Amino acid sequence: MSNAIVYTEFGGPEVLREIEITLPPVGDGEVAVRIEAAGVNPIDWKLRSGLRPSGDIDEPRRVGADAAGVVTAVGGDVDGFRVGDEVVVFGAQGAYASDMVLPIAQVQPRPSHVSAAQGAALGIPVATAYQALRSLGVRDGDTLLVHGGSGAVGQAAIQFGVLWGATVIATTSDRRADRVRELGAIPLPYGDGLVERVRAAAPDGVTVILDAAGTDEALDASLDLLADRTRIATLVRGKDAVGLGIRGFSGGSPHPLTPQQLAWRAEAIPVTIALLASGRFSVELGPSFPLAEAGEAQRVVEQGVDGKVTLRP
């Protein structure tokens, strides 16, 4: 058995409820995992509220993609995992739960000094940032502008950009500028005069732009700053990307990710776990809530909070 968070109608956080479910048997190529922490992502509340279309609900709908925990059972044809192994879970359906059965493609080993909360914070944010920057071809010598540098995706994008040799500029609030600077980026405030501030910080110009903010200001500034629109991407305004002549990854984009892009998203998880374990990647953790308070956790994420919010089953 497992406790899991579900909803049966679209609406506010109050539509989320905790129920008991029966776990399926562990099949070939699968493991069972006792969840120790689940990551709360913005897409979770967008789907729950109906802001992001997801089709009619015809049965209780599970929530959450990212988690971390401990293997409790191993199916046939599984190499490399044993009962008791600590793991990171990503790309799952229904990670807001106490236990799950998962294909091993959605599980990666977690070093013992990487906490469950840190592991649960990876998933969607690091996969999104890694895939987007790989798709944009970010490399040594680039000057990368990240709109929304203090969010989980923005922080990951800054760190990947710096690791790959780019000079990184990131927009942020004044309150969060120190965090952005700590990660290796040049922080710039939002608001009037943004284009001029970017040009002053990068007199030779920016060569690639990633929008993780989704504001009109971010998109307008991007178009002013970079003529090569194939090196501008938005993660939030995907449905507007085609009309603007820029690239859209997820975020409502009508174009599915390519097999290569999906492969990059999967590659991001073990790469980031290794970086995190070696002290070359940083995860900012925020509030943690009991599983039963998943609605409040989503409310906090929707309203905006510093650091990654997690659930404790």
Predicted confidence (pLDDT) per residue in 73-130, tens digit: 999 999 999 999 999 999 999 999 999 999 999 999 999 999 999 999 999 999 999 9
Q: Mind giving me the DSSP string for the chain?
A: -EEEEEESS-SSGGG-EEEEEPPPP--TTEEEEEEEEEE--HHHHHHHHTSS------SPEE--S-EEEEEEEE-TT--S--TT-EEEE-S-S--SBSEEEEEGGGEEE--TTS-HHHHHTSHHHHHHHHHHHHHTT--TT-EEEEESTTSHHHHHHHHHHHHTT-EEEEEE-GGGHHHHHHTT-EEEE-STTHHHHHHHH-TT--SEEEESS--HHHHHHHHHH-S-GGGEEESS-HHHHHHHTSEE-STT-SSPPPHHHHHHHHHHHHHHHHHHHTTS----EEEEEEGGGHHHHHHHHHH--SSEEEEE-
Which of these, 186, 160, 199, 120, lies nearest to 281 by C-alpha position?
160
| Share of residues in the chain with pLDDT > 70 (%) | 100
**CATH 3.90.180.10 domain extents, the chain:** 2-122+283-312
Q: Is the pLDDT of residue 53 over 90?
A: no
- Measured between alpha carbons, how far is 282 from 154 in angstroms, rounded to an integer? 12
**CATH 3.40.50.720 domain extents, the chain:** 125-248
CA atoms within 13 A on the CB side of 1: 4
What is the mean pLDDT of the segment spanning 211-233?
Answer: 97
Q: Is the pLDDT of residue 188 over 80?
A: yes
Which of these, 147, 140, 129, 152, lies nearest to 187 by C-alpha position?
147
**Per-residue confidence band for 180, with pLDDT thresholds at 50, 70 and 90:** very high
What's the confidence (pLDDT) of residue 211? 97
Q: Is the pLDDT of residue 252 over 80?
A: no
Q: Which residues fall within 8 angstroms of residue 273, CB to CB, at 6 or more apart?
A: 88, 108, 109, 110, 111, 114, 119, 122
Q: Which residues fall within 8 angstroms of residue 112, CB to CB, at 6 or more apart?
A: 86
What's the confidence (pLDDT) of residue 96? 98
CATH superfamily name and code, 125-248: NAD(P)-binding Rossmann-like Domain (3.40.50.720)
**Per-residue confidence band for 215, with pLDDT thresholds at 50, 70 and 90:** very high
**Per-residue confidence band for 52, with pLDDT thresholds at 50, 70 and 90:** confident
What's the confidence (pLDDT) of residue 1? 83
Predicted confidence (pLDDT) per residue in 261-290, tens digit: 999 999 999 999 999 999 999 999 999 999
What is the mean pLDDT of the segment spanning 202-208?
Answer: 98
What's the confidence (pLDDT) of residue 302? 96
The torsion angles phi and psi of 226, rounded to 5 degrees, stand at -140, 120
CATH superfamily name and code, 2-122+283-312: Medium-chain alcohol dehydrogenases, catalytic domain (3.90.180.10)
Q: Is the pLDDT of residue 305 over 90?
A: yes
What's the confidence (pLDDT) of residue 250? 79
What's the confidence (pLDDT) of residue 84? 98
